[in-house]
Structure 1
Amino acid sequence: MIAYTLKIRNKVTTRDIVVTYRATIHGEQKDLTTGSMKFNLETANINYLTNSKFVLGIVETVILRLNQDCQLERIEVDQSANRLQLQVPKLTEFRAYVQSHHLLSHVAQSCVSNGHQAINVTISTPFKLG
């Protein structure tokens, strides 16, 4: 199994919104996949971009690009200091999305006391100064 982290970065300028993502193996800087989306600030659908479904769509895209030996363990959403913030999904929303889209075999899990599987993916937003 290859455990990986998905880093999503949101950068807003006076003209554009640039969202990049990068999946890397834990403890290494080896890229498994990367991507970038650029939107014109005037014509972008801001309601969609600031909805958690946008971030979940990126997660699904990355999961489907990688084989089942790769398991998502961590999601980091690096926000722009600007006014446009991506909505980071809550863990309950993430779990429901993974289950409803049949992606359970692609995410880190552990067995809990009642014999069921628990999803062990952490979602964080790194704190930056300045």
Structure 2
Amino acid sequence: MIAYTLKIRNKVTSRDIVVSYRATMDDEQKDLTTGSMKFNLETANVNYLTNSQFVLGIIETVILRLNQECKLDRIEVDQSANRLQLQVPKLSEFRTYIQSHHLLSHVAQSCVANGHQAINVSISTPFKLG
């Protein structure tokens, strides 16, 4: 199993919105996949970009790009310091999305007392000063 972290970064300038992502192996900073999307601030569908479905779509894209040996175990969403914050999905919304899109075999899981599997992925938003 290859455990990896997905880092999503949101950067907003006076003209553009740039959302980039990077999946790296947990034990080393080796890139598994990277990508970015750039939107013109005047023409972008800001309602969609600031909805949690946008972030969930990025997560699904990365999961499907990697083979099943790769297991997502951590998500970090680095927000823009100014306006247009991405809506980070709650763990319950993330779990529902993963289950309904049949992606369970691509995420870290642990066995719970009753023998069922539980999704074991953490989602964080690192705090930055300045």
TM-score above 0.5: yes
1:51 corresponds to 2:46: no
**Letter in structure 2 aligned against 1:64:** L
Number of aligned positions between the proteins? 130
**Letter in structure 2 aligned against 1:122:** S
Distance (whole Å) between structure 2 residues aligned to residue 59 and residue 14 of structure 1 = 27
**Cα RMSD, aligned residues only:** 0.4
Distance (whole Å) between structure 2 residues aligned to residue 2 and residue 72 of structure 1 = 8
- CA deviations 1:27-62 (Å, max 9, x no partner) are 311000000000000000000000000000000000
Residue 117 of structure 1: CA displacement?
Answer: 0.4
Unaligned residue ranges in structure 1 (runs of 5+): none
Residue 94 of structure 1: CA displacement?
Answer: 0.1
If the length of structure 2 is used for normalisation, what is the TM-score?
0.99
- CA deviations 1:75-118 (Å, max 9, x no partner) are 00000011100000000000000000000000000000011100
**Letter in structure 2 aligned against 1:52:** S
**Letter in structure 2 aligned against 1:119:** I
If the length of structure 1 is used for normalisation, what is the TM-score?
0.99
Unaligned residue ranges in structure 2 (runs of 5+): none
**Letter in structure 2 aligned against 1:23:** A
Identity of aligned pairs, percent?
A: 88
Distance (whole Å) between structure 1 residues aligned to residue 127 and residue 41 of structure 2 = 25
2:11 is matched with which residue? Answer: 11
SS at match of 1:44: coil
2:29 is matched with which residue? Answer: 29
Runs of 4 or more, structure 1, over 3 Å off, are: none
SS at match of 2:76: strand
